[in-house]
Amino acid sequence: MTQYQVSAVEKKFIGHHILVAILALAVGSLFGPLQAFEHAGWDFYTYLKPLIKSYYQGLTVHGVLNALVWTTFFIMGFLTFNVIFGLKRPLKNLTLNRVGFWLMVVGVVTAAIPILANQATVLFTFYPPLKANWAFYAGLTLVVVGSWVEGWGLFLTYRDWRKENPNERTPFVAFGSLVTLLLWQICTLGIAVEILTMLLPWSLGLIDNVDPQLARTYFWFTGHPLVYFWLLPAYISWYAMLPKQAGDGKMFSDSLARLSFWLFLVLSTPIGIHHQYVDPGVPPAWKFLHSVFTFGVFFPSMMTAFTVIASLEHAGRKQGGSGMFAWIGKLKWNDPAVASQLLAGILFFFGGIGGLANASYNVNLVLHNTAFIPGHFHLTVATAVTLSFIGISYWLVPYLTGRKLWQPKWAVAQAWIWFVGMIIFSNSMHVLGLLGAPRRVPLGLAPYVPAEWNSRLFQVGLGGAILFLSGAIYLVVMYKTATNKERVETEVEVPIAQPMQDPANGPVWLDRWAPWIYGALALIVLMYGPVLFEMIKNIALTSPGFRVW
């Protein structure tokens, strides 16, 4: 059986995305454990003074590189692959995609300069009136614009495919990728407006003051669907690749997988105010409405859990597994791509529960901006997403480079070490948050820390150290793979789990774009229109900028 051949030049192009992503992860993850160590009272920043001036400069590097750069580059590379391979056709216009990629690279460099010069120690949320150097905002803009351009290139490729195949169902991996890209195009409007109408002209000295409440509202318009931009590529892999890798399983429900992607497109943007439950300038009625819809977006995640687990069960039983749970042991745990993603999925279960707590309107009063929040998103973006991407890279990098994965056993160990480290780190962060510990504070130095927090603070440091070890192993495995002299004999097989029912028998409306796009836009207008209109009408540009780091 021969599989569709992605051209060498396209493989290289995708590989460049993965390379930048892993470099970002490498640098960003250096600082992760340093943050954790500060909680335990182990201060390494003193020794970094010539290079990195403070904990917060390190935290900015960590957040920007890990949450924004690693994810975005990996996602754009992976989705580009999915569209090409799924549609079985080359990119319509490789040059256009190249332009997008290089815009993103120039953006990262442009933003990195002020960050490294300690001119943009504003963390990855960059709430004004903390005022960074203009290059920071310009760089972020270029990254977003570059990702848009790459998205357009993929949409054009899809349009040609559709013209030639008017009655075919879009192959699932391409379908999921295109929905993710569309979501990204819609939701990044918030951050684009924030930067272009306020932060960039302000940092350039064209306007003197900004409205912090309005800026936060623009930010979270993008900030929450950003989470789904991270997650959906992992979902694509869990739905349509992992069951195959785990034991030749099939995708349990193609139609419901598609439906859940559409629901994510429609529901993930008009809920951003659930990050602003305790903002003073947002009326509670809107907060409540967004909280109800946030529960709504949990629904497709529950559907995803069912289909993914059912597909894995199919794989497990195919491998001779039986019983209620015993089939789990029959999955191919010694394949690092499988182990990473299964472990990522297990921790995501707890991430989901914590997310529901955050989303719960007044329950959030107990949790808002406590250590619970970084505890939560280290289970989601830093495990469900990151460990899944790591798992994907364990087959994708050998596929792209034609070089054998170096020491798969080490790769499996890496996933388990991440799993253990993250349990220790994240559990203690959650508990600290419930005890009242604030986020974004080097708690080892804070004057108000009661003695009862100390054992948990130590666990945060310990978890950080274990995660550091795991990250280091990952980088060694990747480096050794990329330079491996041993090549794969035949091209690595791209794992695609076939659906149990022929997608062609699914309803046509699952392959129509217009109603879902209009639905998504209409819901955004309903859920954000009035509240944003009021805020813009009553805009108060009264906040000058501050550099207090």
Partner 1 sequence: MSAQKLHIDSYERGWMIFSAFLLVAFAVAVSVAAFGMGIQVPAPEQRVDPRTVATDPNSPWSNPGLREVAPGKYDAYILARAVPLWEYLPKELTVPAGSSVSFYVTSSDVQHGFKIQDTNANFMVLPGQVSKLTVKFDKPGAYNFICTEYCGSGHGIMYGAIIVTP
Catalytic residue list: 224, 228, 376-378, 439-440
Q: For partner 1, which residue of 51, 353, 365, 522 counts as binding (CB under 8 A)? A: 365
How far apart, in whole angstroms, are the C-alpha atoms of residue 430 and residue 437? 9
Of residues 464, 293, 304, the one with CA closest to residue 388: 304
Q: For partner 1, which residue of 7, 322, 369, 455 counts as binding (CB under 8 A)? A: 369
The values of phi and psi at residue 534, to 5°, are -60, -45
**In terms of CB distance, is 526 or 539 closer to partner 1?**
539
Could you check whether the bond before residue 225 is cis, i.e. omega within 30 degrees of 0?
no
Q: List all residues 6 or more positions away from 505 whose beta carbon is below 8 Å from its beta carbon.
A: none
Biggest alpha carbon distance in the chain?
A: 68
Q: For partner 1, which residue of 253, 269, 340, 401 counts as binding (CB under 8 A)? A: 253
Touching partner 1, residues 402-421 (CB under 8 A):
none
**In terms of CB distance, is 6 or 214 closer to partner 1?**
214
- DSSP secondary structure letters along 54-89: -HHHHHHHHIIIIIIIIHHHHHHHHHHHHHHHHHTS
Least distance (Å) from partner 1 to the CB of residue 351?
17
**In terms of CB distance, is 19 or 305 closer to partner 1?**
305
Q: For partner 1, which residue of 448, 479, 518, 533 counts as binding (CB under 8 A)? A: 448
Which tokens belong to 90?
């080359």
Q: For partner 1, which residue of 427, 501, 521, 523 counts as binding (CB under 8 A)? A: 501
Least distance (Å) from partner 1 to the CB of residue 498?
16
Of residues 63, 115, 497, 92, the one with CA closest to residue 307: 497
Least distance (Å) from partner 1 to the CB of residue 185?
27
Touching partner 1, residues 334-363 (CB under 8 A):
356, 360-363
Which tokens belong to 5?
């051949």
**Kindly report the CA angle at 21 between 15 and 23, in degrees rounded to 5?**
105
Per-residue x/- track, 51-90, partner 1 (CB under 8 A): ---x-x----------------------------------
Q: For partner 1, which residue of 8, 292, 326, 522 counts as binding (CB under 8 A)? A: 292
Region near partner 1 per CB under 8 A, out of 146-154, 297-305, 387-395, 522-530:
297-305
Q: For partner 1, which residue of 41, 90, 281, 402 counts as binding (CB under 8 A)? A: 281
Least distance (Å) from partner 1 to the CB of residue 384?
18
Which tokens belong to 155?
């949409």
How far apart, in whole angstroms, are the C-alpha atoms of residue 511 and residue 343? 32
Which tokens belong to 268?
């993930």
3-state secondary structure at position 543: strand
**In terms of CB distance, is 33 or 129 closer to partner 1?**
129
Q: For partner 1, which residue of 94, 438, 498, 521 counts as binding (CB under 8 A)? A: 438
How far apart, in whole angstroms, are the C-alpha atoms of residue 382 and residue 481? 23
Interface with partner 1, residue 287, by CB under 8 A: yes
Q: For partner 1, which residue of 9, 51, 159, 299 counts as binding (CB under 8 A)? A: 299
Tell how far CA 123 is from the center of its chain.
17
**In terms of CB distance, is 334 or 505 closer to partner 1?**
505
Tell how far CA 547 is from the center of its chain.
29
**In terms of CB distance, is 357 or 420 closer to partner 1?**
357
Region near partner 1 per CB under 8 A, out of 3-11, 384-392, 463-471, 540-548:
540-548
C-beta neighbour count of 361 within 10 angstroms: 16
- DSSP secondary structure letters along 161-193: HHHH-TTSPPPHHHHHHHHHHHHHHHHTHHHHH
**In terms of CB distance, is 73 or 293 closer to partner 1?**
293
**In terms of CB distance, is 17 or 368 closer to partner 1?**
368
Touching partner 1, residues 303-322 (CB under 8 A):
303, 306-307, 310
Touching partner 1, residues 185-224 (CB under 8 A):
211-213, 216
Burial class (CB in 10 A: 0-12, 13-18, 19+), 39: buried
- How big is the site for partner 1, counted in residues (CB under 8 A)? 74
Interface with partner 1, residue 364, by CB under 8 A: yes
Least distance (Å) from partner 1 to the CB of residue 494?
26
Q: For partner 1, which residue of 368, 376, 378, 456 counts as binding (CB under 8 A)? A: 368
14 and 75 Cβ atoms separated by less than 8 Å = no
What letter does residue 146 receive in the DSSP assignment? Answer: H
Which tokens belong to 251?
């995708």
Q: For partner 1, which residue of 127, 349, 479, 518 counts as binding (CB under 8 A)? A: 127
Touching partner 1, residues 12-41 (CB under 8 A):
none
Least distance (Å) from partner 1 to the CB of residue 434?
11
Length of the chain: 549
Which tokens belong to 183?
């979501």
**In terms of CB distance, is 311 or 380 closer to partner 1?**
311
